[in-house]
Amino acid sequence: MEAFLFSHPEIWPQRSCGLATEPGSMSQRSCVYFGARYVLGPVREAIHLVHGAVGCGYYGKMVRGTPAPLFSTDMREHEVIFGARQKLYKALVEAFALNPEARGAFVYITCVTGLIGEDALTVAEEVAQKIGKPVKVISCPGFSGSSQAKGHSVSYKALLELIKPLPKAKEPVVNLIGEYNVGGETKVLKDLLGQIGVKVHLSLTGEASWSRIETMSRARLNLLFCGTTAEDFCRAMKKAFGTPYMKVSFYGLKSIAASLRKIGAFFELPETLVEEVISHGEQQVLAKIFPWRRHFWGKKALIVLGAHRLGPQGKMLKELGCEVVAAASIFGKDNNHKEATEVTSIVTDNPGDHELEEALWVFKPDIVLTNAREQWRPVKLGVPVLSFPQPKDRGPYAGYVGMINFARDLYKCLNAPVWKLLNSSLL
C-alpha cells in the first residue's frame, strides 16, 4: 500500500505545515478571523464586537458548537466607501451600556475593514478613555494568513497584554493553556488534577473570564496542551512573569499517566497518591472498554484533523488496537507532524478534496476521524466517520472518563446498523 502511495505522490503529496493553499485547490481550512473567534469567543466579562459585514458576525456566532455573545457593526456599501469610524464608536458605546459588567472589549477587524484600512485603533482609544475600560483591537482579516492559526496567534498576544503581575499562589495551582473545553474536558481535567491535590486557576480559553485572565500569573505552573501558538504564549508568560510550563496530554492511558507523574514530580506530591489515582483510573477504563476491544483490533483508521489532534487521537486509536494508516492536518506546525509520525509514517498537510477521495480509495480505512465539514465524503463512500469537534452530548475525550467515551463512540460508529444495509463497501 505504501509503495503504491509513494509511486503516485499526486494522491497524497507529503507537504510540510504552514504552506499556503495551492491555487485551484478546495481547502478545508478556515480563515484568520475564525481562528480569532475560536480562541477568544468563550471569554466572559467581555464585549465581542465584529467590525465588518453582518455575514462575518453570523459566521463567528457559533464557537466550538456553542452560541457565543456577539455584536456587529453591520457595515453596508456606504461605510465601505466612506468608512465606518463613527458607526464603530457608537456601537462600542452602546455595547458597553448594554453590558455594564463587562471589563473590556475585543474588536475584530475582518476582511472588509482590513481592505479599506479602517482606523479602529484610534476609535478603540477614544472609547477606552470615555468608558474607562480597555478595548483590544484584534487585527484578523480573513486573508491575512494561510489558515486560522494566524488568528490564534493574534488572539494569544492580546490575552497576554491583559495579565497583571501578582504573587504566586502557595498551593499547587496551574493554568490549562490551549485547552478549549470542546466537549466538557475542563471539568474532567479539574476533577482529575484535584485528585492529586492540584487546583486549576483557569482553562485558556475553554473556561476563562477577563478577570481570571488578569490574575493568571498567580499560577505556579502552566500546562500546555496543544499548538505552537499556545507554546509561544507559555514562553512569553515565563519571560514576563516567571511562570514555568510543561507540555502534557490527557488523551490515552499512557499519556495520562505520564502527565500526572510529571505534574506530581514538579509539585513534589506523594508518589503513592499519584500512582493510586493512575491505577484506579486505568482499572475503571479497562473494565469498561474490555467488551469492545475485539471490535477495534486490526481496524484501519485515517485521521484528517487539526494538527494538534493527530498525535493524541492517533495514540488513543493504537491503544485500542487500531492501525493508523495515514494522517493529514488541516493546519498546524511541523512539530505536530513529528508527534504524528509516532503513530503513522504517512503524514501531510492541507489535502484537497480530490486527494482525500483518492486516499479513501487507496487506504480503504474502516473508519475516518475528521471534522464536521469533511465528514460526509467518507460516509457517501460507505466509510464510518467519527467527527470532531464532538457534540457535547457525547462527552469529553480527555482523561479516564474521556477514554471510555472515545471507545464507546468508536464502537458505535464501527457497528452502526446502517453499514449492514450495504452489501459491500462502496470503496
Percent of the chain past pLDDT 70, that is, above it, reads 94
Q: Which set of grid coordinates corresponds to residue 381? A: 463512500
Q: What is the pLDDT of residue 167?
A: 96
**Rounded Cα–Cα distance for residues 20 and 333 (Å):** 13
Alpha helices in 132-251, H assignment, sequence order: 149-160, 185-195, 210-214, 228-241
CB 322 within 8 A of CB 314: no
Domains of the chain (ranges; CATH) run: 2-22+288-421 (3.40.50.1980), 32-145 (3.40.50.1980), 173-276 (3.40.50.1980)
- Using 50, 70 and 90 to split pLDDT, how confident is the model at 233? very high
CB atoms within 10 A of CB 208: 26
Q: Quickly tell me which residue has 482499572 as its cell.
A: 283
Give 128-153 pLDDT, tens digit per residue. 999 999 999 999 998 888 788 889 99
Say what angle helices 307-319 and 253-266 make with each other, to 10 degrees. 110
Closest CA to 163 of 94, 91, 219: 219
**Phi, psi torsion values for 306, nearest 5 degrees:** -55, 145
Question: For 243-256, what is the mean pLDDT?
Answer: 95
Give 197-209 pLDDT, tens digit per residue. 999 999 998 899 9
Sort strands 300-305 and 199-205 into parallel, antiparallel or unpaired. Answer: unpaired
Give 70-125 pLDDT, tens digit per residue. 999 999 988 888 888 999 999 999 999 999 999 999 999 999 999 898 999 999 99
Mean pLDDT of the chain: 89
Burial class from Cβ neighbours inside 10 Å (0-12, 13-18, 19+) for residue 385 reads buried
Closest CA to 234 of 249, 218, 247: 247
User: Which region among 11-20, 32-41, 74-83, 187-196 has the lowest average model confidence (pLDDT)?
Assistant: 11-20
**Rounded Cα–Cα distance for residues 203 and 200 (Å):** 7
CB atoms within 10 A of CB 79: 22
Predicted model pTM: 0.90
- Using 50, 70 and 90 to split pLDDT, how confident is the model at 10? low
For the chain, the residue count is 427
Q: What is the pLDDT of residue 310?
A: 86
Omega into 205 within 30° of 0, i.e. cis?
A: yes
Give 283-297 pLDDT, tens digit per residue. 999 999 999 989 999
**Rounded Cα–Cα distance for residues 162 and 139 (Å):** 17
Q: Quickly tell me which residue has 455575514 as its cell.
A: 55
